[in-house]
Amino acid sequence: MIDFKENVNSNQKTTEETRQQMSFLGQAKELVKERSERRGYPLTFHVTTFGCQMNARDSEKLTGMLLAAGYVEKETEDADFVIYNTCTVRENANNKVYGRLGYLHGYKKQNPQMKIALCGCMMQEDVVVSKIKQSYPFVDLIFGTHNIYKFPELLVSVLESESQIVDIWKEHGDIVEDLPSVRKYPFKSGVNIMYGCNNFCTYCIVPYVRGRERSRQPRDILRECERLVKDGVVEIMLLGQNVNSYGKTLQQEISFADLLKEVATIPDLQRIRFMTSHPKDLSDELIEVMASYKNICPHLHLPLQSGSDTMLAAMNRHYTKAHYLSLVDRLRAAIPDITLTTDIIVGFPGETEDDFAETMDVVERVRYDSAFTFIYSKRTGTPASAMDGQVAKNIVKGRFNQLLERVQTIGAEQSERFVGSKQKVLIEHLNEQDPSLVTGRMMNNSIVHLAGTEKMIGQVIPVNIKESKGFYYLGEPL
């Protein structure tokens, strides 16, 4: 076991911040109670999440704090307090939020006491905040990614004020532990192990809106994981923009492989996932740990983005096609049944037919189980947005369709290898189309539908995989 030493000064500082925010939560609870009594019914809230697993985890924290303040959760957006936790990775994500704000305004006209808050990555962009101030003055609270832990303080401010409150930090603050959080699923949970990103890929806005990389203390991560398992969680996903670089900002020497090994030894933790992994930081030590523990899921999301060395250099990815393919070979040698998924961008500035052919070559050689394919989206403020050689839309569309068709075909072929096998499936919910079925996931994250009841939700059961439908399986419980 590794002796994880604590940074005492940092812990004292964040513990005091936790106490302060819990005090604000107490004040908010009194305000909510008073207004609920005055109106004759409990005040309600709704949180809508856009974007990645990191945002989903942040929304669980916001939900936990609102529940602690006395609000009651509501499934629809006609609530007394509505939060949009936004994403800004692509421009259409921004446009989606703007469209939904008009919809919320209608609810606020019916309920003038309604409070609307916007947070998340989109709010870290100056141009966005300016537009909201000018075009959406009915929004009550705007805050970003760096000060989410101060939400109790902001909640008190917005409840006591009739003015729009904007609290955006350009730099990250401390990592504050032990504030309320509520899981979406009682049997699985994400756990942030780090925040921010230092990679500065030329197409990506994330380092500018999430801030520089900073890792949580390993003891805090392990305590959280242990508490979750004691509370009935069987699956944990370790989250970070680049989990493979975990520990580099800590005073003590620790790698992600070290941390993963410690998490894997927690009694009764049946499944561990993690994302996202950057190829440039994926070590042989990590591959060895993945292969050594049965509760580490044999699935790796390893973004490629492009198979062209020219494009990879322009993207500032810091690896080559040869390096990536070597990683895949080593992964499959160590974990023969591993499922590999990826991200691929088509139409990055300057991409030629030869560059695209290199990407298709990697797709053919790796044979991904699935891939998220994207047409390059210009994001203002990133180096790529000012690059020459923006590819014509009709050319990009043709390449994208070619890639998508091949990825889907290969994925369907790959899925056949599990037909007839027996797999452990974590049942997650009733099937949305057929209530006589339940839906769950295999260790490799593949979706399985099978006959079952609500009582099975949260259980890991053995399943015979009967048929592949390309994107999902049909199975029967054993």
pLDDT digits (tens, 9 = 90+) for 3-30: 555 444 445 556 788 888 889 999 999 9
CB 344 within 8 A of CB 162: no
Q: Where, residue-wise, is CATH 2.40.50.140 in the chain?
A: 419-477
**DSSP of 196-215:** ------TT--HHHHH-S-EE
Predicted pLDDT at 154? 94
Q: Where, residue-wise, is CATH 3.30.750.210 in the chain?
A: 183-297
List of residues 6+ apart from 169 with CB closer than 8 A = 144, 146, 147
Predicted pLDDT at 110? 93
Predicted pLDDT at 8? 43
Burial of 71 (0-12, 13-18, 19+ CB in 10 A): buried
Q: Which long-range contacts (CB under 8 A, 24 or more apart) does 123-127 make?
A: 123/86, 123/168, 124/88, 124/168, 124/208, 124/209, 124/210, 125/88, 125/205, 125/209, 125/381, 127/380
Q: Which residues of the chain have pLDDT under 50?
A: 6-10
Predicted pLDDT at 13? 55
Per residue in 40-89, pLDDT (tens digit) is: 999 999 999 987 888 888 899 999 999 999 999 999 999 999 999 998 87
Q: Where, residue-wise, is CATH 3.40.50.12160 in the chain?
A: 8-167
CATH placement of domain 183-297: 3.30.750.210
What is the 3-state secondary structure of 112-179? CCCEEEEEEHHHHCHHHHHHHHHHCCCCCEEECCCCHHHHHHHHHHHHHCCCCEEECCCCCCCCCCCC
Burial of 174 (0-12, 13-18, 19+ CB in 10 A): middle
CB 195 within 8 A of CB 242: no
Homologous superfamily of the 419-477 domain (CATH)? Nucleic acid-binding proteins (2.40.50.140)
Q: Is the peptide bond before 14 cis (omega within 30 degrees of 0)?
A: no
Predicted pLDDT at 175? 67
d(CA 94, CA 105): 17
Query: What does pTM read for this prediction?
Result: 0.84
CB 334 within 8 A of CB 287: yes
CATH architecture entry for 8-167: 3-Layer(aba) Sandwich (3.40)
d(CA 433, CA 428): 14
List of residues 6+ apart from 227 with CB closer than 8 A = none
Predicted pLDDT at 20? 87
List of residues 6+ apart from 343 with CB closer than 8 A = 301, 303, 304, 305, 371, 372, 373, 374
Burial of 264 (0-12, 13-18, 19+ CB in 10 A): middle
Predicted pLDDT at 168? 87
CATH architecture entry for 299-418: 2-Layer Sandwich (3.30)
Helix (H, G, I), strand (E, B) or coil at 390: coil
Helix (H, G, I), strand (E, B) or coil at 105: helix
Q: Where, residue-wise, is CATH 3.30.750.200 in the chain?
A: 299-418
Query: Which of 181, 210, 188, 190 has the alpha carbon at shortest distance from 198?
Result: 210
Predicted pLDDT at 88? 80
Query: Which of 166, 170, 91 has the alpha carbon at shortest distance from 132?
Result: 166
d(CA 415, CA 441): 14
Strand order in the sheet with 44-49: 72-73, 44-49, 81-86, 115-120, 141-143, 165-167
Strands 235-239, 271-275: pairing is parallel
Q: At which residue do the structure tokens 């889907």 appear?
A: 408
Instruction: Give the number of other Cβ atoms within 10 Å of residue 16's Cβ.
Output: 12
CB 215 within 8 A of CB 249: yes
d(CA 384, CA 199): 14
List of residues 6+ apart from 168 with CB closer than 8 A = 123, 124, 129, 142, 143, 144
Predicted pLDDT at 10? 47
Phi, psi dihedrals of residue 421, rounded to the nearest 5°: -90, 165
d(CA 462, CA 313): 45
Predicted pLDDT at 54? 81
